[in-house]
Amino acid sequence: MKDTINIGIIGIGSGRGSLMKDCILPRKEVRVAAVCDLYEDRRLDAAAQVEKAGQSRPLISADYREVLAMKDLDVVLIATGWTPHIEIACAAMKAGVYTAVEVGGAYSLDDCWRLVRTHEETGTHCMLMENCCFGRYELLVLNMVRQGLFGEIVHCQGGYRHDLRGEISGGWENRHYRKDNYLLRNCENYPTHELGPLAEVLDINRGNRMVKLNSVASKAAGLHEYIISRQGADSQDAKLRFAQGDVVTTIITCARGETIVLTLDTTLPRAYSRAFHVQGTRGMFSEDNLTIFLDRQDEKFEFNGRGLWGSADSYFEKYDHPLWKSYIEEGVQGGHDGIDWLEFSALFNAVRERAAPPIDVYDMASWMSISTLSEDSIALGGAPIAIPDFTNGKWLTRKDKPF
Ligand SMILES: NC(=O)c1ccc[n+]([C@@H]2O[C@H](COP(=O)([O-])OP(=O)(O)OC[C@H]3O[C@@H](n4cnc5c(N)ncnc54)[C@H](O)[C@@H]3O)[C@@H](O)[C@H]2O)c1
């Protein structure tokens, strides 16, 4: 077991550039060995942060292959925009470097299979960095589901409901990748924040699997109106026509018969929500009002204006997930309410032990595949599209519960 973990970071942008400061540099046992970005200012700024934290100057490069060729590199974090994720992840696995990839959706099924096959051929591990799987409410619900409190799970919902109109419309000036995607694609482009935790609840790839989906997209009106209101009707960008529908709804059917509804909702005015919703024969959780309803006579519920519900927070004392129980004792830190820190702890523990990550290539391929499959379904008027079994039958007997 190694004392020091050497990490290379590829992609240091506006959204995830802060990870290094929040979740990596504060750890004494982790050394940033390389920083890589296409933009010089971003890689130099990252290197300066590493030195300011008291570490030696890292390799600074614009070419990820230089990073992967380094000796003594233990793990590489790929936090580029979505397009190069799989290409770099496969190159990293081939180089024998433990691979961690930020979230996104797949552009083709071929990419998803490439990921799985590269892992199987090289034996190198690859983790999808889905921080929402480490959310306290998500893990509370998972813990309660595992203890049977919700009965048999029947239906789940989730969403990526985040007003990104500013980020998307300012994409070219801010050197951000989303704008081109929204101009030319129409799909559930960001499925994993909500699907990841739901997949844990439903044992996807471990006794269950996603079998098919149907997706429909509303019209695209939000970005156009936003641009006119901010830049004027005569501006250059007012002429743009976005392909991406404002609200994309995807219904997934699972092998055990559960349904999942995913909603992508990123170009209309709204408050942030992942709309996490889990419903079984004996109870349900709803993120909308942060409540749990259990169909048990011993439960004491309060009238909250719409009916009798229990505040989800009141269940933490008894059912908080063990991961969060010890985390709260140690002290919550890092970004996104502490979930990023937990996620990176899981990554570094796995790297240190050379163990399989909690979110592996089979999870990654199946969750990411929803993007490209939804694109097909929308193009075909909501037609059902089969979701491949990336485990090649191993889901029938895989029993490990990573969370
Ligand atoms: N988990 C979360 O909560 C969360 C939050 C924000 C972003 N993200 C994810 O993080 C990733 C990055 O998002 P962002 O907002 O920081 O993007 P960004 O566009 O601001 O930054 C991406 C960076 O990657 C660099 N890059 C692109 N191709 C590269 C290559 N081949 N080699 C080296 N560098 C390359 C770009 O130059 C850019 O600086 C995305 O996958 C996004 O979905 C996750």
DSSP letters, 66-85, are: HHHT-TT--EEEE-S-STTH
What DSSP character marks residue 313?
Answer: G
As given in the structure block, the two tokens for residue 307 are 């009916």
Question: Residue 2 half-sphere exposure, CB side, CA atoms within 13 Å?
Answer: 19
Q: Does residue 309 surpass a pLDDT of 90?
A: no
AA identity, residue 231: Q
Do 274 and 263 contact (CB within 8 A), yes or no?
no
Cα dihedral 129, 130, 132, 133 sign? negative
Q: 176 versus 223: which is more confidently predicted?
A: 223
Identify any residues that bridge with 159 across adjacent strands, giving them in sequence order.
263
Report the mean per-residue pLDDT for the chain.
95
| pLDDT reported for residue 304 | 63
Interval between CA 264 and ligand 1 midpoint (Å): 19
Q: Does residue 335 surpass a pLDDT of 80?
A: no
Comparing C-alpha atoms, which of 67, 2, 3, 81 is closest to residue 36? 67
| pLDDT reported for residue 220 | 98
| pLDDT reported for residue 337 | 86
State pLDDT tens for residues 273-286. Answer: 999 999 999 999 99
SS3 310: strand
Q: Tell the residue nearest (CA) to atom 2 of ligand 1.
A: 131
Band (pLDDT 50/70/90 cuts) for residue 307 is: low
Q: Does residue 306 surpass a pLDDT of 70?
A: no
Q: 176 versus 75: which is more confidently predicted?
A: 75
Q: Average pLDDT of 36-54?
A: 96
Band (pLDDT 50/70/90 cuts) for residue 367 is: very high
Tokens 């909702």 — which residue?
265
| pLDDT reported for residue 308 | 61
| pLDDT reported for residue 139 | 98
Q: Does residue 171 surpass a pLDDT of 80?
A: yes
Tokens 């890689």 — which residue?
43
Task: Give the long-range contacts of residues 353-359, CB within 8 A, separation 24 or more.
Answer: 353/1, 354/98, 354/125, 355/125, 356/125, 356/400, 357/100, 357/125, 357/126, 357/127, 357/402, 358/127, 358/133, 358/402, 358/403, 359/127, 359/128, 359/129, 359/130, 359/133, 359/196, 359/402
Q: Average pLDDT of 332-356?
A: 93
φ/ψ bin of 370: left (φ > 0), alpha (ψ from -120 to 50), beta (otherwise): alpha
Query: Under CATH, domain 5-130 is a member of which superfamily?
Result: NAD(P)-binding Rossmann-like Domain (3.40.50.720)
| pLDDT reported for residue 265 | 98
Interval between CA 238 and ligand 1 midpoint (Å): 26
Interval between CA 179 and ligand 1 midpoint (Å): 13
Pick from 102, 127, 266, 342 the residue to mutate for probing ligand 1's pocket: most ligand atoms within 8 Å of its CB: 102
As given in the structure block, the two tokens for residue 370 are 């929803």
Helix or strand run (H / E) with residue 112? helix 109-122
- Spatial distance between the Cα atoms of 20 and 42, rounded to a whole number of angstroms: 12
Pick from 20, 37, 66, 274 the residue to mutate for probing ligand 1's pocket: most ligand atoms within 8 Å of its CB: 37
Comparing C-alpha atoms, which of 83, 76, 165, 57 is closest to residue 351? 76
Q: Does residue 147 surpass a pLDDT of 70?
A: yes
Which atom from ligand 1 is nearest to the alpha carbon of 62?
Answer: 33
**Residue range(s) of every CATH 3.30.360.10 domain in the chain:** 133-326+361-396
Interval between CA 82 and ligand 1 midpoint (Å): 7
**Residue range(s) of every CATH 3.40.50.720 domain in the chain:** 5-130
Q: Does residue 35 surpass a pLDDT of 90?
A: yes
| pLDDT reported for residue 82 | 96
Query: Which CATH code of 3.30.360.10, 3.90.79.10, 3.40.50.2000, 3.40.50.300 fits the domain covering 133-326+361-396?
Result: 3.30.360.10
As given in the structure block, the two tokens for residue 11 are 């992609």
Ligand 1 neighbours, Cβ below 6 Å, are 10-17, 36-39, 42, 64, 79-82, 84, 102-104, 131, 176-177, 336
- Spatial distance between the Cα atoms of 334 and 87, rounded to a whole number of angstroms: 29
What DSSP character marks residue 337?
Answer: G
Do 201 and 156 contact (CB within 8 A), yes or no?
yes
What burial class does residue 173 get, using C-beta atoms within 10 Å of its C-beta: 0-12 exposed, 13-18 middle, 19+ buried? exposed
State pLDDT tens for residues 89-128. Answer: 999 999 999 999 999 999 999 999 999 999 999 999 999 9
Sheet of 75-78: strands edge to edge?
59-61, 30-36, 5-10, 75-78, 98-102, 126-129
Comparing C-alpha atoms, which of 321, 77, 273, 68 is closest to residue 158? 273
| pLDDT reported for residue 237 | 96
